[in-house]
Amino acid sequence: MKRPEILLFSVLVLVGISACRNDNPPTDIPTMTREKPAPSAAAADRPAPRSGAGNFEALVADYESKDRVIWQKPGMVIAMLGDLKGKTIADIGAGTGYFTFRMVPLAEKVIGVDIDPRFIAFMDSIKVRLPVQYRDRFESRLAKPDNPMLAPAEADAVVIVNTYGYIENRIQYLQTLAKGLKPGGNLLIIDFKKNNLPIGPPDEYKVALGQVEGELAASGFEVSKVDEESLDYQYIILAKKK
């Protein structure tokens, strides 16, 4: 088994904390090159449920796969939120902080939210290795399965990537989430299409695009953009709190 330190080194390379759309890291981010643990066969096939089940090292290797930047296009996805300067962003189901730490240089504050204490500890371990000017911009937050634990009107925008299908009672969850968004705040959802895909979760954890749109409408959100073309395996939905 690889040591946890090796995982942390590899993630710091991969998160890249990118202020550019092409995901190139700023020059002041330390570049550490250590061997990245190979994902297990199960992890390579699909992510484990967001309940935290599964070998943690395999989950980290899966979430931080070097191929993910190709099919996930994090720089392009983040750019859909517009200018983040002076804003507070919440990343729901943050996991290893794949998107979280890429947004840190762009926003005033980024909250990495997860229900798994192991990922909270993991992100906190990365935080102490960030350049000093970025550390105060990041906060990890342990949430509940039915509550993202955001303060009223705390966030200007919320990002939910590869997590929506694992949320139970989604309409109720979205209504709770809406309370943590400022009026007119953006909600960006990226998740896997219900097709036969080479990557992604099993069908039971996929939600059809039309169903997501309906659940957003029922929760008090207005869908402002739907993109099924930019990502090969996923759809993108941008909605606003009414």
Number of H helices, E strands in the chain: 10, 7
- Neighbouring residues of 82: CB distance < 8 A, sequence distance ≥ 6: 186
- The two three-digit tokens of residue 102, written as one number: 């890429």
pLDDT at 153: 98
- In whole angstroms, give the CA distance from residue 157 to residue 206: 23
Does residue 31 contact residue 9 with C-beta atoms inside 8 Å?
Answer: no
Position 240 pLDDT exceeds 80: yes
Position 228 pLDDT exceeds 90: yes
Please choose, from the candidates 171, 117, 191, 179, the residue with its C-alpha nearest in 3D space to the C-alpha of residue 150.
Answer: 179
pLDDT in tens, 37-67: 333 333 333 344 443 455 888 888 888 888 8
pLDDT in tens, 74-98: 999 999 999 999 999 999 999 999 9
Q: Cα angle vertex 47, ends 44, 51, to 5°? A: 150
- In whole angstroms, give the CA distance from residue 74 to residue 96: 14
Strands 234-241 and 221-227: antiparallel
Q: How confident is the model at residue 192 (pLDDT cuts 50, 70, 90)?
A: very high
Looking at per-residue pLDDT, the higher value among 221 and 64 belongs to 221
According to DSSP H, which parts of the chain are helical? 4-15, 41-45, 56-63, 68-72, 74-79, 100-103, 117-127, 132-135, 170-179, 209-218
Q: How confident is the model at residue 196 (pLDDT cuts 50, 70, 90)?
A: confident
Region for residue 196 given its phi and psi (left: phi exceeds 0; alpha: psi -120 to 50; beta: otherwise): beta
Looking at per-residue pLDDT, the higher value among 27 and 121 belongs to 121
Q: How confident is the model at residue 4 (pLDDT cuts 50, 70, 90)?
A: very low
Q: How confident is the model at residue 148 (pLDDT cuts 50, 70, 90)?
A: very high
pLDDT at 56: 85
Question: By three-state DSSP, how is residue 98 classified?
Answer: coil
| Average pLDDT over all residues of the chain | 83
- The two three-digit tokens of residue 45, written as one number: 């096939």
Q: How confident is the model at residue 158 (pLDDT cuts 50, 70, 90)?
A: very high
Position 30 pLDDT exceeds 80: no
Looking at per-residue pLDDT, the higher value among 13 and 186 belongs to 186
Please choose, from the candidates 133, 57, 69, 127, the residue with its C-alpha nearest in 3D space to the C-alpha of residue 99.
Answer: 69
pLDDT at 91: 98
pLDDT at 168: 95
Does residue 78 contact residue 106 with C-beta atoms inside 8 Å?
Answer: yes
Q: Mind listing the domains of the chain with CATH numbers? A: 69-241 (3.40.50.150)
pLDDT at 53: 52
pLDDT at 217: 97
pLDDT at 88: 98
